Structure formats: structure tokens, C-alpha cells
Structure 1
Amino acid sequence: MKKITLAAALLMSASAAFAQSATEKTGVNSALGVAPSTEDFVMQASASDMFEIESSKLAVQMSEDEATKKFAQQMITDHEKTSAELKELISSGKVKATPATALPDEMKEDLDELAKLKGAEFTEEYHDAQVDAHEEAVDLFTRYSKEGENADLKAWAAKTLPALEHHYKMAQDMDKD
């Protein structure tokens, strides 16, 4: 009987974790303004950083627009810094979660599509991708900084948020041109 009860408890906790991740993945948490779990936040924040870095490396190489290249270089520098800070929180034991080790399929597909473009078409799509990515990052960091469950990660999200908001505004301004 004990084995069945333990198995049922593990199954229920796994189901609850999956349900929370599913609501985060589908955008339900965002629509309701609900903070993601620590695991979801770390996974999404680290994946977002990876996408920003990789798409911006492409922009440095492929964009013909100097303002875009300058913005892209800033994104690489800033997002490498936030990636390192997040890894430090995890390695110090202050945060118990696993960062993304590869881009999620949707982000990988977006990056692959971006890499196929050239010239002005590339720059336009890069600008659009930056607006979208930073809008999502601002939402994610805002929700976690307000109601996240890990105090150290919550403080880091709050500290990082103004830079992400600035990136978002810069991306919007570039996208208007």
C-alpha cells in the first residue's frame, strides 16, 4: 500500500509541475499575470538570453545597417552578462533550477529562418524578432520580480528588468525605421 501511495504522490506532483509548465508555455500565466515557477523562469530566461545572443551574432555578421550592428553588439554583451549572472545564482546554490542547454524548437526555427535572409530583409526580420523577444522577456521578468518564489532570483529579475525594458524600447525604435 505504501508503494502505491508514494507512486501516486509522485505522479500527482509530476502532473502539477507539468500543468504549471503547460500554463506558462501556452501563455495562460502571462495573460493572467501569474508568476512562472522558478524552474520555468530559469528555463525561459536562459533560452531567451541564448536567442538574443545567437540572433545578434547573426546581425553583427549579416546586417548592412550600422545602427543595427551596434544594437546587436550591445545585445550580445548585455545578454552574455545576464547569462553569467544567472549561472552564478545557480552554481552558488541560491537557485535550484536547470537553465536551458539548447534553444527550444520554436526559437531554433526562428533563428534558422533568420539565417536564411539577406540585406534589408534580414535587418527587418531581426528588428521584429528583437521586439518580440524583448516584449516576452519584459513580461517574464516583470511577473517573476513581483511574485516569484525564490527571493534571490526575484531580486535578480527586478535588477535586470530595467535593462530589458530599455532593450525593448530600443528595439521598438529601430523597428519604426
Structure 2
Amino acid sequence: MPKALRIAPALCLALGIAAATPAMAQTPPPPPPAAATAKAPDYVKAAGMSDLYEITSSKLALQKSRNADVRRFAQMMIDHHQQTTAATVQAARQDGLRPTPPRLGGAQASIGELSRASGDAFDRLYIGQQIPAHQAALELHQGFAANGDKPALKASAQSAIPIVQQHIQMLQQMPR
């Protein structure tokens, strides 16, 4: 191998030049606690935080993204997650609970990261956060649908599963 070809990769590393786009830090929302797959109050809190993260991050995407596909996806996230929040609240009340308004909690760091990003980097970060967030939401809903302690909430969790699965399929097809 010619000496120039052996030196080029080392020189690129030394100068901080990479052939691919540098990876941005990515802080996905924290996963829900294990108790959220069995205990109704924990499930309601975790589902609310998940939905609020999706709504808040997607409102940022509508403000910041110039990519039509990302913007369409973001609007769908807002619409769908407002609906799942309403269904969860209704089911919780039906099961005799008094749900409190959702809070971002640990997902605030993810929102902060999105707030600081712009342009194509924002789009990559948004999609990059959405994938693990939806995977965690899917596990949450599947777990509560199987093991939950309140019937109306179990049914609500079961109805959320295909919605979240659809979102994951769409995310897997989006460029990152």
C-alpha cells in the first residue's frame, strides 16, 4: 500500500475530518420504570410523559424542520399522541384513578437537546430520538396490556400498541 494511502486516514483523524457526518450527542427520553408495566398509577404517569415528549418534540419539529416528510410525521405525532393521552386519561378515570397532567420529567434533557439543534442536524436528532422513544413506549404499552392491574387501562394500552408500531415502521423508513 502506498505511504500516502496509509497516512491519509491518520491525517483525517488528526485534523478532525471525517468522511461521514459527525454524530451528534443524542439523549433519548429515559425508559419508563419497570413498575409501569403492572401498576396503573405508574403506567399513567409513564404513558403521559411519553406522549408529552412526543407532542413537545414534534412541535419543535414543526418550528425547526424544513423537511416536508419530517414535518408531516411531526404533525401526525402531535395528533396521535394527543389522542392516546386523552384515551389514557379517560381509561384511568373509568378505573377510578385521578390522573394528574403529564410532566416531561427526565425527557426534558431530550427536549433541550432538540431546542439547541438546527437544520439537517435537527432532523437527524429528532428522528434519532424518536426511534428509542417509540421502542420504549411500545414496551410500556405491551407490558401493561399483558400485566396491568386495571381493565380499562389495559384495554387502552392494547389499543395504543398498533399506533406505536405504525410510528416505528415509519421511522425505520425515514432517512437519518
TM-score range, shorter chain: 0.7 to 0.9
1: CA distance between counterparts of 2:37 and 2:115?
33
Q: CA RMSD in A?
A: 1.8
For normalisation by structure 2, the TM-score amounts to: 0.76
Whether 2:53 is the aligned partner of 1:51: answer yes
2:166 matched residue in structure 1: 166
- Partner AA of 2:156 in structure 1: W
Q: Deviations over 1:91-110 (max 9, x none)?
A: 4x424253453211x20111
1:85 to 84, 87, 93: 87
1:159–1:126 CA distance, 2 compared to 1 (3 A)? same
Identical-residue share of aligned pairs (%): 30
2:121 matched residue in structure 1: 121
The answer as to whether partners of 1:46 and 1:99 remain within 8 angstroms in 2 is: no
Q: Unaligned 5+ residue runs, structure 2?
A: 1-31
Alignment of 1:14-93 (within 5 A): 25=33, 29=34, 35-91=37-93, 93=94
Q: CA deviation at 1:171?
A: 1.5
Larger radius of gyration: 2
2:156 matched residue in structure 1: 156
Which deviates more from structure 2 when the two are superposed, residues 82-91 or residues 154-163? Answer: 82-91
2: CA distance between counterparts of 1:119 and 1:41?
35
Structure with greater proportional helix content: 1
1:49–1:37 CA distance, 2 compared to 1 (3 A)? same
1: CA distance between counterparts of 2:163 and 2:49?
17
Q: Unaligned 5+ residue runs, structure 1?
A: 1-23
Q: CA deviation at 1:66?
A: 0.5
2: CA distance between counterparts of 1:125 and 1:95?
39
Aligned pairs, number: 145
2: CA distance between counterparts of 1:84 and 1:75?
14
For normalisation by structure 1, the TM-score amounts to: 0.76
1:49–1:78 CA distance, 2 compared to 1 (3 A)? same
2: CA distance between counterparts of 1:39 and 1:150?
10
1:164–1:129 CA distance, 2 compared to 1 (3 A)? same
Q: Larger relative CO (CA 8 A, sep 6+): 1 or 2?
A: 2
Q: Deviations over 1:11-46 (max 9, x none)?
A: xxxxxxxxxxxxx63xxx39xxx9331111100000
Q: Deviations over 1:38-61 (max 9, x none)?
A: 111100000000000000000011
- Partner AA of 1:84 in structure 2: A
1:101 matched residue in structure 2: 102
